[in-house]
Amino acid sequence: MKRVLSILMIASLSGACSTLISSAATGMSDNLSMAILNQDDPQLVRDGAPSFLLMLDSFVEGSPDDADILAASATMYATYGAVFAEDELRASRLTTRARRYAQKAMCESYDSSCVWPDATYDEFVATLDGIGPKQAEFLYTYGFASLAFLRAHSSDWDSLAELPQIEALFNHYLNISGDEVNGSVYTFMGILLTLRPPALGGEPERARGYFEKAIAVSDGNDLGAKVEFARSYAKLLYERELHDRLLTEVVNADPYQDGFVLTNVMAQEEAAALLADADDYF
């Protein structure tokens, strides 16, 4: 589960800030989210984000039943916990809070989801049919926060048992989101389908289709999708040529694509590291 792409989670910041601030205050929302996404210094984001997290908590304290504020807070906590928290205990705490906020947001917007923490797989899936486009973004946020949580708790096999639920959730999200789909979900689906080898239920060829879709919907601007395609699919099937081609494309690409700068800079660093280790793996 640690292979889940942390960098990709930053892309979900787009819209989170605007959702939050349009509900709790006014102005600066779109500029704030784009400033983060177009920042080419990851360390600056790492250093500056904690102050914003505290501000989010103050918004939740003031409006504890506001699903929009809860969802935006969940996104920010999940992103920081998965991407920038290097200490395992800290990552666990941050992503646990993210998951709690995301669950509360879903519960406020869709009553049947209030039972999810204690639901079996069949019970969970049965509730998905009642979720429509109106709750699509809350559903995505819950899945996103859950992936961050599961990554931080990857040593807990009970947590990993939730992976089929998250796959079902994202499948339903794709069915109801229409043109408003968050392109990152295609990469997440590719990751979920390659977490296990084929002999244990993995579906790499379906995963390849999702990775290719993720690249296509961003017009190739999301370099993180290519990195995860190489790491999750090409390495799993020992396709060295595909692996090296994808990563070389990432290293040689212009990272300064609007809305993807931060994720692309981090993706290029990851791609270079994977290429350097390729001879030891293949």
What pLDDT, in 10s, does the model give residues 138-183? 999 999 999 889 878 877 767 778 889 999 999 999 999 988 888 8
Q: Do 195 and 278 lie in a common domain?
A: yes
Q: How confident is the model at residue 235 (pLDDT cuts 50, 70, 90)?
A: very high
Q: Do 263 and 176 lie in a common domain?
A: no
What mean pLDDT is predicted for residues 65-89? Answer: 88
In this structure, are residues 217 and 183 in contact, taking their beta carbons and an 8 Å threshold? yes
Q: Do 97 and 3 lie in a common domain?
A: yes
pLDDT for residue 35 is more than 70: yes
| Backbone phi and psi for residue 254, each to the nearest 5 degrees, phi listed first | -80, 115
Instruction: Tell me the average pLDDT of the chain.
Output: 86
Cα torsion for 201, 158, 231, 187, to the nearest 10°? 80
Mark which of 158, 180, 202 sits at the end of a domain. 180
From CA 176, how far away is CA 170, in angstroms rounded? Answer: 10
**Of 225, 159, 222, 168, nearest to 193 (Cα)?**
168
Tell me, what's the pLDDT at 3? 42
Q: Do 197 and 225 lie in a common domain?
A: yes
Tell me, what's the pLDDT at 48? 86
Mark which of 132, 160, 180 sits at the end of a domain. 180
From CA 257, how far away is CA 221, in angstroms rounded? Answer: 6
Q: Do 158 and 207 lie in a common domain?
A: no
Q: How confident is the model at residue 25 (pLDDT cuts 50, 70, 90)?
A: very low
Q: What is the 3-state secondary structure (H, E, C) of the chain?
A: CCCCCHHHHHHHHCCHHHHHHHHHCCCCHHHHHHHHHCCCCHHHHHHHHHHHHHHHHHHHHHCCCCHHHHHHHHHHHHHHHHHCCCCHHHHHHHHHHHHHHHHHHHHHHCHHHHHHHHCCHHHHHHHHCCCCHHHHHHHHHHHHHHHHHHHHCCCCHHHHCCHHHHHHHHHHHHHHHHHHCCCHHHHHHHHHCCCCCHHHCCCHHHHHHHHHHHHHHCCCCCHHHHHHHHHHHHCCCCCHHHHHHHHHHHHHCCCCCCCCHHHHHHHHHHHHHHHHHHHHHC
Tell me, what's the pLDDT at 246? 98
Global confidence as pTM: 0.85
What mean pLDDT is predicted for residues 186-208? Answer: 87
Tell me, what's the pLDDT at 68? 87
Higher pLDDT, 1 or 248: 248
Q: Do 170 and 212 lie in a common domain?
A: no
From CA 67, how far away is CA 57, in angstroms rounded? Answer: 14
Tell me, what's the pLDDT at 154? 73
Q: Do 162 and 44 lie in a common domain?
A: yes
Q: How confident is the model at residue 1 (pLDDT cuts 50, 70, 90)?
A: very low
Count of structural domains, the chain = 2
Q: Do 210 and 275 lie in a common domain?
A: yes
pLDDT for residue 24 is more than 50: no
Mark which of 180, 197, 217 sits at the end of a domain. 180
What mean pLDDT is predicted for residues 8-22? Answer: 51
Q: How confident is the model at residue 16 (pLDDT cuts 50, 70, 90)?
A: low
Q: Do 173 and 36 lie in a common domain?
A: yes
Q: Do 150 and 200 lie in a common domain?
A: no
CATH number at residue 132: 1.25.40.920
Q: Do 254 and 158 lie in a common domain?
A: no
Parent domain of 270: 183-282
pLDDT single digits (tens) 2-11: 444 444 455 5
Q: Do 209 and 167 lie in a common domain?
A: no
